[in-house]
Amino acid sequence: MAREFRLPDIGEGLTEAEIVRWLVAEGEHVDADQPVVEVETDKAVVEIPSPYAGTVMSHGGAEGDVIQVGQVLLTIGQGDETAKRPGDEQEASTRPEITLEPETMPKAEPQAEPRAEPQAEPQPEPIVGTLGGESELLIQPEETTSAVPAAVKALPIVRKLARDRGVDLATVEGSGPGGRVTREDVEAAAASEETEAPAPEPAPPSAGETASAAAAPAGPAGHDERRPMSRLRRTIAANMAKSWSEIPHVTTFDDVDATRLLEVRRALGDRHGVKIPIEALVIRAVVPALDAFPEFNATVDGDDLVLHEARDIGIAVDTPDGLLVAVIRDAGRKSVLDLAREVRSLGEGARERRLGPDQLSGQTFTVSNIGAVGGGHGTPIVPASTTAILSVGMARMRPIVYDDDLAIAAVMPLSLSYDHRVVDGAQGRRFMAMVLENLEEPALFLAS
């Protein structure tokens, strides 16, 4: 008996998803809880498992198709049941009807009245499945993905890059885990092909072409290119527009003497043999300020302000595919070393597109380390459903005045944007003053 499996709502208000890759072909057997398809949501690619065991009778769409939540994802038959092919019903109607009777039952005399048609068995109600397994992040193109041999291991974004650069993935040796082809492998293969195939020399122009070119006015050398935005970039654009249109932003700037902070960072790294991300120390310095000023760890809900108990701190991660915000849950209860491990893990997962939707949403405050790419002061946009974001710039050696004496110190720029509906300017300065005090003397937050 065939069963329909419909696209499940995997959370975060999902309404639709794009089919990236079918993992089980039509006609193949599938076990319960076996991943059958990869679908791309706004931020992640998710492997969806089958809730049934049986034979895949039909797919609900082709790779590249967008399907809605609740729409049939695939149909699974039990046992040896297979999908009906065109002409099966016509063929069945031409076959003679054969009735098998048990040997122990006496043969009945033919009846004059017509035999009643058998009633169709009621079909079970289709269910919406549950999500399991890990997910990856990526950018999926608008067009349907072209066929690539199943033996080639590569993420969809790498496959798109290979198509764009004209690289045959079957000829590329993967350097990633398990032989996976990486972005760098494709770039290297494309560069090698460009080196081996020099551009042909242009044919000399005819006399007529020369005269025509001389008479024509000089125009632009190239032409405009229309490039569709990826699903991830469209999501970022929608979120930025929503935040900017709904939240009245105020940004306050300051500089902090990061001498002690950087000394503590080096000492902790030397003692424990690990590199301490600056975000881990900034988060620990911010948590006491969030405790003292809970309006900065809140959400505006209509005419109410929801003050969050947990300190779920988002960290902005610069990835090849765009800006993502990974979330450290309950950061207020974690040590600097715990935070350092999570910052590294989430950063790597975001760049490698391995984080799930629950790791990319739900922050109550955000820290953005723009200094990682050489930034200084800025005007960060407050993420929707939060009230503030702190941007940290790169610490540089600059002159600074202490008690009328001029000194050279590592100065780190800070930019705090907040929702002016919730936070007034005086409150914003008090919050920033406490963060500055903690960063200048790390003992104040390390002891808490």
Instruction: Return the closest-CA partner of residue 440 out of 310, 255, 311.
Output: 255
Considering just the CA atoms, what is the radius of gyration of the chain in Å? 31
Whole-number Cα distances in Å, 104 to 53, 97, 101, 385: 37, 22, 9, 75
3-class SS of residue 202: coil
**Distance separating alpha carbons of residues 367 and 345, to the nearest angstrom:** 16
Structure letter (DSSP) for residue 222: S
3-class SS of residue 310: coil
Contact predicate 311/329, CB 8 Å? no
Catalytic annotation, pick one of 249, 308, 377, 420: 420
Q: What angle do CA 329, 331, 336 make, to 5 degrees?
A: 135
Q: Which helix (H) or strand (E) holds 268?
A: helix 259-272
**Distance separating alpha carbons of residues 70 and 17, to the nearest angstrom:** 11
Contact predicate 13/88, CB 8 Å? no
**Distance separating alpha carbons of residues 68 and 16, to the nearest angstrom:** 4
In terms of C-beta density within 10 A (0-12 exposed, 13-18 middle, 19 or more buried), how is residue 334 classed?
buried
Q: Amino acid identity, residue 362?
A: G
**Distance separating alpha carbons of residues 278 and 149, to the nearest angstrom:** 43
Structure letter (DSSP) for residue 187: H
37 forms bridges with which residues in the sheet?
22, 48
Q: At what angle are helices 259-272 and 425-440 packed, to 10 degrees?
A: 50
Is 420 part of the annotated catalytic residue set? yes
Give the number of other Cβ atoms within 10 Å of residue 18's Cβ.
Answer: 22
3-class SS of residue 283: helix
Let me know how long the chain is.
448
Active site residues per annotation: 420
